[in-house]
Structure 1
Amino acid sequence: MTETHSASVLSHPLIESDRVEGTAVYDANGRQIGTIKRLVIEKVSGNIAYAVTSFSTFLGTGSETHAIPWNYLHYDLKLQGYHTNITEDQLRNAPEFSRRDDHLLSGRDWELLSEYYAGPL
């Protein structure tokens, strides 16, 4: 990243959602484990609740999507992507929810996801 680009990122702390979608997600070792597919925003507060992350399945035969609570992702200027302490294995074993789910992680589903990630990371 150039100094000009770094200064630009720091002087403009906001980003449009379409620029977040497709951004790489890296584990604690700096290895890319997926990309952000979409953000889920709480309607009333406007806060981002979680990011739906897409990553390749075993042997690259397709892709899976899993939700990561937004507060577990931190933008890393050096990587130009989001860094998390969540491992690929933890992500693969996380509760899965479909976009077609009526509640879209509201109520008990959101609690299950929160409880899952509240464990040791």
Structure 2
Amino acid sequence: MTSLTPQNPETTGTANTSAATQGATIVGLGVGDGPGPEVMAASTLDGNKVISSDGEHVGKISAIMLDVRGGRIAYAVLSSGGFLGMGDTLHAIPWSALTLDTDDKCFVLDAPAERFKSAPGFDKDHWPSMADMQWGATVHAYYNRPPYWRTRTGTATQDVVENREADSNF
């Protein structure tokens, strides 16, 4: 596996800031035929394997969840266990807890396998309300990340946070 040192912004032209306050980190020199890796279609990432920080294959990306109002990626949903899609357990992972490894064409979760295996999950027929800020705060705390709606990015502002908190339907 490739070293998980973020790309050098001087050589890649990409300013990689702290993953805890922005988005997923990108490592490796791999560049595909398309527009990635900085900007990609979410569907391109479906099915990508996810490796724990201690090198164990823990699942695959089954969905990318968007915060439509805030204009950010909220979570990656990982599918693990099961056989041919039957009996899979799904896990919401904060986007900032993932590193895209372009050389190995996978994501690396910033948590050891045992931590991931102990994480609360859900099944395909019983999704949690991912817009519930209390639920989201619990998920982010489990992976030692600030809630995505509390971080500032190029599009996130305090007004978005205040509007989201004030909207009882969100």
Partner of 2:92: 67
Point out the structure with the larger helix share. Answer: 1
Larger gyration radius, structure 1 or structure 2: 2
Question: How many angstroms apart in 2 are the aligned matches of 1:79 and 1:64?
Answer: 24
User: 2:57 maps to what in 1?
Assistant: 32
Give how far 1:111 is off. Answer: 1.3
Task: Provide the residue aligned with 1:116 in structure 2.
Answer: 142
Aligned to 2:30: 6
Percent identity among equivalent residues? 22
Give the deviation of 1:105 after TM superposition. 4.7
Moved over 6 A (4+): none
Q: In the alignment, does 2:76 pair up with 1:55? A: no
**Matched pairs, number:** 112
Structure scoring higher RCO (CA < 8 A, sep ≥ 6) equals 2
Which runs of 5 or more structure 1 residues have no equivalent in the other structure? none
CA RMSD of aligned residues (A): 2.7
Aligned match of 1:106 in 107, 113, 132?
132
Pairing 1:84–2:85 present: no
TM-score normalised over the length of structure 1 = 0.75
TM-score by length of 2: 0.56
> Runs of 5+ in structure 2 lacking a partner?
1-28, 146-170
| Equivalent residues of 2:79, 2:88 under 8 A apart | yes
Q: Answer yes or no: is 1:43 the counterpart of 2:68.
A: yes
Q: CA deviation at 1:44?
A: 1.3
